């Protein structure tokens, strides 16, 4: 764990190589995997209400065909929502085209109402805390797998929600672009963002 914490950085360069289905599965489990018979997950949630949903976007690979998938935590499986690559469309909602270069894009979405029904106006705060817990798990797991991750928290919510055809009451909260690091050319210095 210490090694993952020391190595975790936000990076904006990716190789075209796609993670294996096993690695994708491990990333999703780290973020929202079920860890007990009672349904508790890897990331804490206020009242164990679990208001988050993960969408996986890919341009296609031998392990996973092109499209947008919803992660079903109950059966640990991916449900195809669209059969087309929407990474560029999603990246355009926050004007950062580099994000579409990641082999995968994971969009974390949530239902505030699912939390607010118990906690009232504190529901939004608790949902954002839950998002932070889940994404940190995802980042540390990606680091452990040798993957680069780029983070996006600023985007046009309505445009992104429309691009993914999110359900009523569901809102995008965080976007993570994921991929293997690019091949290092001898003599080329590694670019690293020190601000995160």
pLDDT at 16: 87
- The H-or-E segment that residue 171 falls in is strand 170-179
pLDDT at 192: 47
Domain 18-33+42-97+123-178 class, CATH top level: alpha beta
- pLDDT at residue 193 tops 60: no
- For the question of whether the overall pTM of this predicted structure is more than 0.75, the answer is yes
**DSSP at 38:** T
CB 152 within 8 A of CB 94: yes
pLDDT level of residue 35 (50, 70, 90 thresholds): very high
Task: Give residue-wise pLDDT tens across range 108-166.
Answer: 999 999 999 999 999 999 999 999 999 999 999 999 999 999 999 988 999 999 999 99
Give the residue extent of every domain in the chain. Answer: 18-33+42-97+123-178
- Cα–Cα distances (Å) from 140 to 86, 96, 115, 137, in that order, read 25, 23, 26, 5
Task: State what percent of residues in the chain have pLDDT above 70.
Answer: 94
Task: Give residue-wise pLDDT tens across range 70-121.
Answer: 999 999 999 999 999 999 999 988 888 899 999 999 999 999 999 999 999 9
pLDDT at 185: 66
pLDDT at 34: 96
pLDDT at 161: 94
Task: State what percent of residues in the chain have pLDDT above 90.
Answer: 78
* Sequence-separated (6 or more) residues with CB below 8 Å from residue 183: 15
């Amino acid at each position: 764990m210490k090694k993952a914490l020391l190595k975790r950085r936000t990076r904006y360069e990716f190789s075209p190589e796609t993670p294996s289905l096993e690695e994708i599965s491990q990333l999703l489990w780290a973020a929202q995997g079920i860890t007990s018979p009672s349904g508790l997950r890897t990331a804490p949630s206020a009242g164990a209400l679990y208001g988050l949903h993960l969408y996986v976007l890919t341009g296609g690979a031998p392990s996973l065909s092109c499209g947008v998938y919803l992660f079903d935590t109950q059966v640990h499986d991916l449900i195809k929502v669209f059969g087309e690559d929407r990474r560029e469309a999603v990246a355009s909602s926050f004007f950062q085209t580099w994000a579409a270069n990641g082999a995968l894009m994971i969009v974390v979405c949530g239902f505030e109402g699912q939390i607010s029904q118990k906690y009232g106006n504190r529901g939004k705060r608790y949902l954002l805390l839950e998002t932070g817990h889940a994404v940190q798990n995802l980042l540390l797991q990606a680091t452990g797998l040798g993957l680069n991750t780029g983070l996006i928290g600023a985007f046009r919510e309505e445009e992104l929600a429309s691009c993914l055809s999110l359900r009523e009451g569901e809102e995008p909260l965080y976007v993570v672009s994921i991929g293997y690091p690019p091949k290092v050319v001898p003599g080329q210095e590694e670019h690293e963002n020190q601000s995160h």
